């Protein structure tokens, strides 16, 4: 097992002038190196960089000589080099890169060569950052997430390093265009939606603000899937993002950790528990640099791949012809990192998902602990661990961090339970991202018992201690209240209560009178009829003797009887129901095992406290807090919208807003300036022209740049209500068809309605919605009566790069989830930053965006979160009366106007009062009339372009709160207790 005293990329020694971690960082470049010519690739201008320094090679633990000090840093080095030297360096990589033939300098080859050139430049600060954290032994945050939706790295890296112009000019000298070269980069398929994009924004802000922090994730070979839209709707094929290699990663074969599954737990002679046997794999690190903006801080994203040691290849089986058996261990290990969120309908799928989550937790914690031990040296004290390490669990996927950290501290490091628990609780924190039941993960206890037997033991003990805490807080007088709290708060669900607690829930039972007491009563009664005192005395004495003998006997019999019948007398609540699965409630474990629980928007955090985890909030109110999400203004305005970015800087008078978004508010004083209005609309039009080309390329549809661009792009899910949007479009289309040409032009503003997003492969209803949207598009877009007045577009395979094109061009953006169901959202923030006006419900971050940009600059409709439960109850009781317009649009869909596909199931989900998949759980019918009336107000506002432009400017001006820089400052101060570590 390798320790992690090595940095993201090891410094090269004199004997290996181009050496890095196994897998390489690309031939030379600005690597710290010694010897003749020491690792500076041709074209970088050795004369300018020849500045001899001493550095420590962590791998070899020897002093090495190098031409550049880590403190020299970037961007100053590159700014002094110039575009000609950069062009020479790119050419060097193009000539010697092993992936391509040297004959033809294609845009793809240019991209890989350019990426390697930039990576060379990043290595100086990457190593310097690691060395500085190590030297100063700072407290470091570690962000664990199953998703990191990074987007393209090239434009982001050169943008953060402020060398975009130099690279554009260098590529021009080589006959290439930067935009064309950058477009060759596939999006890294390491995420699906907002969860992963948020994690990536956080990494950008952490580096930009100089916070010591790393990200940890899995290196998925195929990601989620590549979405193809056919006549049958969405189809999925494997994502091929790694097909041509990923030039931004450094494979760290020297940094790997064992990860175990199955086996059994035994107690050793040392008194410790030992997890032995089972299936063993190896997690191998792949490092990706995360450069900050206008800073030399370059943090690390460490991704794990999975394999097995060479000795696990069954050579004998292979030679005997049993090739499948020979590869079995290797394939079992490799498939862990094949797919993001493998289907979990099957037992195998469930096991694979759990393996993924444990691999992330185990490898990352082993790495973190190795780094802690290395930095502590001889002064190692485990009590210091929480003062040096902060672990943030991004949603419930990394929950196994809690029992895994406990296991390592107790079983490997020899700490007691109380010591390990204290350390774990002070180290780990949890971000809740959703109130949806399917996302508050519940794992089968039986599956976990087989796969992770030691962790189940630890979880059982945590659960038992939690039960004792609950009993201690609420007492035993009110058993109904106690029962309620245990049902809500236990980590293990449908699992027997401990015997000591079960006795609190014994039902009262009528007890029969003992025979001794009966006989005594009869004897005493007979005394009353006897006059003879002497006889009476004898009878009394007999009664007393009999009573004593019989009572002693009966007491013993009664105890035995009570023990025999106790199970019958226990409340059924204390026993598991064999008809129901036994599960581990991961979210409850997160709350119990961490020191902080945060929601991601003000309304969401209140729902977390008052509903989702109310009982926990009552017990530990100080654990709960809010951290409203944010997005990085670098990627989401500065780089993806250069036209608007230049405009903002011009009118504000500087580009300081990129690091201090509060300065965006200065735009408010120009909100009515006609010159700004004119330039603002021109910038928007230029962005729309790019999207016109993108739509034609991706779908074949031709749309007008003069129409309003109305966009809803996000994961396809019923609660996000793409169905409400498309039904609104269908209603609009139907009304258009009922009018003359003149009436249509007068009544409706031209619109291009753009959708994008993936439906999970096994989510049938979501895939029906995709099919429905594409069928509506096929009908509407070919209707010559309608022309450019209405177009519907579904952009396939939505990802970060598509978002970077669509968001700057958008004019209306739809965030229309059922109130109380969207934790926050982050795309709403990106749209607002780019001067797009939102239509939405009071849900998630919409609430705060509306407050910041002004109620008059936000189109609001729909029921509010506090009304939802009552509205669903009204539906269940059959009291809901649908709006006639809603019934009209459903009937129109069923008429077959959009093709032969039957939408009975989809429309049926909006009908009835009860039943799975019916009864309009997401209240599309309830909000439909409010929605279409609000859309009429949108049309009215868009006709007044002066008003619309003013609203657009004020959306950008009011979006300063939603920078991820603000969010990260709050996490650092309130949860992680870390401080900036600025390289000297």
Query: 744-789 pLDDT, tens per residue?
Result: 999 999 999 999 999 999 999 999 999 999 999 999 999 999 999 9
pLDDT digits (tens, 9 = 90+) for 699-729: 999 999 999 999 999 999 999 999 999 999 9
Contact by Cβ (8 Å): 237, 244: no
216 with 174, same domain: the answer is no
Give CA separation, 933 vs 16, 147, 173, in Å: 70, 38, 55
This prediction's pTM: 0.88
pLDDT of residue 550 exceeding 70, the answer is no
260 with 172, same domain: the answer is no
Q: How confident is the model at residue 46 (pLDDT cuts 50, 70, 90)?
A: very low
pLDDT digits (tens, 9 = 90+) for 788-805: 999 999 999 999 999 999
Q: Any residues with CB less than 8 A from the CB of 371 and at least 6 apart, and which?
A: 4, 5, 140
Contact by Cβ (8 Å): 22, 252: yes
193 with 297, same domain: the answer is yes
Query: What's the sign of the alpha-carbon dihedral 743, 746, 747, 753?
Result: positive
Greater model confidence, 888 or 549? 888
- Which one of 186, 211, 246 terminates a domain? 186
pLDDT of residue 488 exceeding 50, the answer is yes
The whole-angstrom separation of Cα 711 and Cα 641 is 17
724 with 738, same domain: the answer is yes
Task: Tally Cβ neighbours within 10 Å of residue 151.
Answer: 23
- Given this model, what pLDDT does residue 78 score? 55
How would you classify the pairing of strands 624-626 and 708-713? unpaired
586 with 660, same domain: the answer is no
**Residue 525 parent element (H or E):** helix 515-527
Instruction: Check if 684 is active-site.
Output: no
Within a domain: 477: yes
Q: Which of 295, 399, 826, 956 is catalytic?
A: 826
Q: State mean pLDDT over 375-402.
A: 97
Instruction: Check if 830 is active-site.
Output: yes
The whole-angstrom separation of Cα 699 and Cα 709 is 16
Q: State mean pLDDT over 874-891.
A: 96
Phi, psi at 600, each rounded to 5°: -120, 10
Question: Average pLDDT of the chain?
Answer: 88
**Residue 326 parent element (H or E):** helix 323-334
The whole-angstrom separation of Cα 981 and Cα 973 is 14
> Strand, helix or coil at 431?
strand
Within a domain: 417: yes
pLDDT of residue 27 exceeding 80, the answer is no
DSSP 570: B
621 with 658, same domain: the answer is no
Contact by Cβ (8 Å): 912, 921: no
Within a domain: 576: yes
144 with 157, same domain: the answer is no
pLDDT of residue 557 exceeding 90, the answer is no
649 with 606, same domain: the answer is no
Q: Which of 91, 830, 875, 890 is catalytic?
A: 830
Q: Any residues with CB less than 8 A from the CB of 622 and at least 6 apart, and which?
A: none
Q: State mean pLDDT over 642-657.
A: 97
Up-side HSE of residue 218: CA atoms within 13 Å toward CB?
30
Contact by Cβ (8 Å): 730, 892: yes
pLDDT of residue 470 exceeding 90, the answer is yes
Task: Tally Cβ neighbours within 10 Å of residue 602.
Answer: 16
Give the tokens for residue 707. Answer: 């129409």
- Given this model, what pLDDT does residue 818 score? 97
Q: State mean pLDDT over 427-442.
A: 89
Q: State mean pLDDT over 642-662.
A: 97
Q: Which domain holds residue 274?
A: 139-151+187-504+572-631+968-979
The whole-angstrom separation of Cα 318 and Cα 307 is 18
Residue 968's closest CA among 323, 305, 48, 205? 205
Q: Which of 433, 455, 872, 926 is catalytic?
A: 433
pLDDT digits (tens, 9 = 90+) for 240-276: 999 999 999 999 999 999 999 999 999 988 889 999 9
pLDDT digits (tens, 9 = 90+) for 120-177: 989 999 999 999 999 999 999 999 999 999 999 999 999 999 999 999 999 999 999 9
pLDDT of residue 107 exceeding 80, the answer is yes
- Helices within 137-214 (DSSP H only): 154-160, 164-173, 178-182, 194-208
Percent of the chain topping pLDDT 70:
85
pLDDT of residue 891 exceeding 80, the answer is yes
Strand order in the sheet with 751-756: 790-795, 751-756, 708-713, 812-815, 837-840, 859-860
617 with 497, same domain: the answer is yes
- Given this model, what pLDDT does residue 184 score? 96
Within a domain: 870: no
Q: State mean pLDDT over 398-427.
A: 98
> Strand, helix or coil at 57?
strand
Q: Which of 252, 715, 744, 872 is catalytic?
A: 715
Within a domain: 974: yes
Buried b / exposed e along 329-351 (16+ C-beta atoms within 10 A): bbebbbbbbbbbbbeeeeeeebb
Buried b / exposed e along 673-704 (16+ C-beta atoms within 10 A): eeebbebbbebbebbbeebbebbeebbebebb
DSSP 807-862: HHH-SEEEE-PPTT-----SHHHHHHHTTPEEEE-S-TTHHHHHHHH-GGGSEE-S
- Given this model, what pLDDT does residue 548 score? 59
Question: H/E/C letters for each residue in 381-410?
Answer: CHHHHHHHEEEEEECCCCCCHHHHHHHHHH
Q: Long-range CB contacts (< 8 A, 24+ apart) of 856-861?
A: 856/951, 857/951, 857/954, 857/955, 857/958, 859/812, 859/934, 859/937, 859/938, 859/941, 860/934, 861/816, 861/927, 861/930, 861/931, 861/933, 861/934
Instruction: Check if 720 is active-site.
Output: yes
Instruction: Check if 715 is active-site.
Output: yes
DSSP 205-242: HHHHTT--EEEEEE--SS-S-EEEEETTEEEEE---TT
Instruction: Check if 93 is active-site.
Output: no
Give the tokens for residue 640. Answer: 């993806």
Within a domain: 11: no
Greater model confidence, 221 or 61? 221
Contact by Cβ (8 Å): 476, 482: yes
Greater model confidence, 551 or 192? 192
Instruction: Check if 937 is active-site.
Output: no
- Given this model, what pLDDT does residue 79 score? 55
Within a domain: 498: yes
Please state the separation of Cα 984 from the chain's center in Å. 34
Greater model confidence, 121 or 633? 633
pLDDT digits (tens, 9 = 90+) for 807-856: 999 999 999 999 999 999 999 999 999 999 999 999 999 999 999 999 99
How many residues belong to the chain?
984
pLDDT digits (tens, 9 = 90+) for 577-598: 999 999 999 999 999 999 999 9
pLDDT digits (tens, 9 = 90+) for 200-216: 999 999 999 999 999 99
Contact by Cβ (8 Å): 655, 649: yes
pLDDT of residue 523 exceeding 50, the answer is no
Q: State mean pLDDT over 16-31.
A: 32
162 with 214, same domain: the answer is no
Q: State mean pLDDT over 911-928.
A: 92
Q: State mean pLDDT over 923-929.
A: 98
Q: State mean pLDDT over 959-982.
A: 98
Q: Which of 714, 717, 850, 961 is catalytic?
A: 714
- Given this model, what pLDDT does residue 521 score? 55
pLDDT of residue 542 exceeding 90, the answer is no
227 with 313, same domain: the answer is yes
Greater model confidence, 540 or 576? 576
pLDDT digits (tens, 9 = 90+) for 56-75: 333 333 333 333 333 344 44
Instruction: Find the CATH number of the domain harbouring 858.
Output: 3.40.50.2000
Number of domains in the chain: 3
Within a domain: 554: no
192 with 177, same domain: the answer is no
Give the tokens for residue 207. Answer: 């580096």
pLDDT of residue 238 exceeding 50, the answer is yes
Q: Which of 302, 355, 585, 720 is catalytic?
A: 720
The whole-angstrom separation of Cα 138 and Cα 547 is 77
Q: Any residues with CB less than 8 A from the CB of 856 and at least 6 apart, and which?
A: 951
Q: State mean pLDDT over 513-534.
A: 50
């Amino acid at each position: 097992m390798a320790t992690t005293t090595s940095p993201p990329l090891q410094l090269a020694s004199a004997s290996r002038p181009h050496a890095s971690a196994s897998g390489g960082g690309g031939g030379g470049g600005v690597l710290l190196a010694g010897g003749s010519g020491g690792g500076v690739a041709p074209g970088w201008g050795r004369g300018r960089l020849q500045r001899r320094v001493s550095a420590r090679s962590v791998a070899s633990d020897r002093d090495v000589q190098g031409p550049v000090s880590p403190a020299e840093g970037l961007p100053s080095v590159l700014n002094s080099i110039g575009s000609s030297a950069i062009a020479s360096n790119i050419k060097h990589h193009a000539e010697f890169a092993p992936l391509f033939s040297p004959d033809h300098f294609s845009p793809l080859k240019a991209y890989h060569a350019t990426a390697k050139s930039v990576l060379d430049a990043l290595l100086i600060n990457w190593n310097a950052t690691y060395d500085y954290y190590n030297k100063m032994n700072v407290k470091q945050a570690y962000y664990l997430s199953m998703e990191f939706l990074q987007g393209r790295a090239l434009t982001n890296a050169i943008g953060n390093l402020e060398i975009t112009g130099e690279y554009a000019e260098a590529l021009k000298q080589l006959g290439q265009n930067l935009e064309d070269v950058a477009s060759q980069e596939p999006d890294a398929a390491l995420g699906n939606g907002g969860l992963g994009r948020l994690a990536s924004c956080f990494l950008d802000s952490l580096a930009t603000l100089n916070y010591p922090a790393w990200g940890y994730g899995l290196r998925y070979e195929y990601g989620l899937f590549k979405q193809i839209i056919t006549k049958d709707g969405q189809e999925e094929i494997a994502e091929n993002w790694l097909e041509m290699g990923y030039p931004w990663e450094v494979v760290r074969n020297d940094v790997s950790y064992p990860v175990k599954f199955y086996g059994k737990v035994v107690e050793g002679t040392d008194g410790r528990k030992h997890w032995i046997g089972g299936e063993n794999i190896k997690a191998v690190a792949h490092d990706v640099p995360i450069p900050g903006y206008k800073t030399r801080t370059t943090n690390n994203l460490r991704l794990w791949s999975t394999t097995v040691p060479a000795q696990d290849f069954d050579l004998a089986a292979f030679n005997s012809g049993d090739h499948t058996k020979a590869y079995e261990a290797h394939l079992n290990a490799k498939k862990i990192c094949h797919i993001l969120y493998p289907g979990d309908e099957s037992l195998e799928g469930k096991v694979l998902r759990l393996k993924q989550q444990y691999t992330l937790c185990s490898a990352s914690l082993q790495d973190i602990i190795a780094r802690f031990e290395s930095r502590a040296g001889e002064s190692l004290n485990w009590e210091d661990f929480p003062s040096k390490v902060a672990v943030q669990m991004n949603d419930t996927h990394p929950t196994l961090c809690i029992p895994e950290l406990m296991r390592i501290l107790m079983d490997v490091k020899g700490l007691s339970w109380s010591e390990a628990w204290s350390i774990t609780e002070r180290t780990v924190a949890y971000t809740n991202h959703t109130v949806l039941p399917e996302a508050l993960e519940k794992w089968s206890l039986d599956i976990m018992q087989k796969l992770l037997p030691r962790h189940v033991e630890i979880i059982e003990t945590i659960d038992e201690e939690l039960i004792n805490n609950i009993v201690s807080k609420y007492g035993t007088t009110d058993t109904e209240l106690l029962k309620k709290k245990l049902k809500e708060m236990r980590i293990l669900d449908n699992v027997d209560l401990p015997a000591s607690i079960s006795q609190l829930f014994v039902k009262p039972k009528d007890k029969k009178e003992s025979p001794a007491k009966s006989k005594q009563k009869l004897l005493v009664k007979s005394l009353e009829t006897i006059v003879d005192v002497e006889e009476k005395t004898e009878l009394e004495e007999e009664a007393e003797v009999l009573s004593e003998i019989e009572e002693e006997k009966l007491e013993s019999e009664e105890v035995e009887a009570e023990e025999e019948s106790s199970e019958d007398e226990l409340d059924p609540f204390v026993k598991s129901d064999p008809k129901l699965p036994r599960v581990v409630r991961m979210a409850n474990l997160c709350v119990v095992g961490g020191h902080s629980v945060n929601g991601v928007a003000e309304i969401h955090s209140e729902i977390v406290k008052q509903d989702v985890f109310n009982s926990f909030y009552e017990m530990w109110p100080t654990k709960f807090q809010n951290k409203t999400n944010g997005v990085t203004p670098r990627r989401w305005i500065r780089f993806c919208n250069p036209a608007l970015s230049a405009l903002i800087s011009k009118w504000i008078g500087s580009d300081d807003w990129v690091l201090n978004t509060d300065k965006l508010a200065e735009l408010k004083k120009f909100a009515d300036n006609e010159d700004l209005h004119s330039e603002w609309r021109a910038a928007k039009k230029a962005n729309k022209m790019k999207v016109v080309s993108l739509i034609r390329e991706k779908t074949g549809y031709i749309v007008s740049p003069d129409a309003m661009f109305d966009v809803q792009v996000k994961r396809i899910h019923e609660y996000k209500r793409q169905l409400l949007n498309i039904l609104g479009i269908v209603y609009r289309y139907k009304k258009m068809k009922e009018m003359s040409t003149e009436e249509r032009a007068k009544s409706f503003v031209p619109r291009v309605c753009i959708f994008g997003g993936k439906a999970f492969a096994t989510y049938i209803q979501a895939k029906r919605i995709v099919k429905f949207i594409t069928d509506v598009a096929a009908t509407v877009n070919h209707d010559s009566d309608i022309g450019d007045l209405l177009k519907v577009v579904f952009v396939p395979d939505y990802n970060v790069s598509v978002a970077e094109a669509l968001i700057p061009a958008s004019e209306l953006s739809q965030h229309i989830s059922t109130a109380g169901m969207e934790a926050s959202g982050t795309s709403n923030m990106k749209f607002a930053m780019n001067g797009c006006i939102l239509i939405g419900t009071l849900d998630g971050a919409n609430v705060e965006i509306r407050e910041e940009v002004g109620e008059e600059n936000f189109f609001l409709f729909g029921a509010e979160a506090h009304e939802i439960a009552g509205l669903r109850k009204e539906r269940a009781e059959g009291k809901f009366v649908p709006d006639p317009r809603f019934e009209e649009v459903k009937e129109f869909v069923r008429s077959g106007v959009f093709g032969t596909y039957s939408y009975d199931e989809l429309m049926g989900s909006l009908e009835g009062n009860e039943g799975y998949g019916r009864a309009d759980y997401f209240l599309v019918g309830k909000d439909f009339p409010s929605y279409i009336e609000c859309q009429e107000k949108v049309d009215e506002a868009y006709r007044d372009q002066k008003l619309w432009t003013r609203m657009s400017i004020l959306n950008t001006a009011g979006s300063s709160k939603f920078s991820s820089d603000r969010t990260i400052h709050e996490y650092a101060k309130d949860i992680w207790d870390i401080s900036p570590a600025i390289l000297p």
